[in-house]
A = this chain, B = another copy of it.
Amino acid sequence: MIADETTDRAGEWTERQKAVLDVVLALLVEIGDAVTMTAVARRASCSKETLYKWFGDRDGLLSATVQWQASKVHVAAFDRNTLDAGSLEARLAEYAANWLRVISGERSIALNRVAISHAGAARSTLGDIVLRHGRFALGKRMMPVLEAGAEKGLIAFDDREEAFRTFFGLIARDVQIRLLLGDTLAMDEAAIIADAARATRQFLALYAPEARPVQTRPRLRTLT
């Protein structure tokens, strides 16, 4: 979950409201969508009437929770002028590692679960919100890096969106769906760093510029 500056409401909440949203987050991690307004009110020492006054309804409270959580995740900017092959790879690996940390974090798992379980319902916008703060926010942040890399002749692609989607697939592979379905998948920091590096190397191999000397290509056997 990543902050999305264009539509975030995080700046509009009081500290008290944010404390309530932290309670919702904790409860979502503990019991998922089984969280009741009564449970939130009790744990947050807040009346249900106030909850409804502040957030509208249950869906509104959940939406606010997603946005609040997303506002806590910040991604570093990058310097376009100093980008070279080494810093491109480092930057991409950093994005990849951050994404893996997000999707394997218990909060993101809980929020995605809730949003997915509401996605069939006609009135819920949770799925849109999670996508906007998740996959699409990541794309928005990474795209300038990809473009800068292409401008500098470090990578090459016909369609930047396709290139991003492929990198996305190389990063997450089967991790997110397994975690969402309850699989126990070890994603400690070492695994995350290694996976991010692997994904980045694979991505750069697939999208190496054609003019690049063939013998300087990474040895593909090291990619597994």
Contact = CB atoms under 8 A, between A and B. Distances in A.
Interface string A192-224: 000000000010011110100010000111011
Nearest to A166: B173
The bracket for how many chain A residues form the interface is 35 or more
B165 A131 contact: no
A110 B120 contact: yes
A156 B34 contact: no
B210 A206 contact: no
Contact of A210 (B114, B163, B208, B220): B220
Interface of A: 31-34, 110, 112-117, 119-121, 127-128, 130-131, 134-135, 156-159, 162-163, 165-166, 168-174, 176-178, 180-183, 202, 205-208, 210, 214, 219-221, 223-224
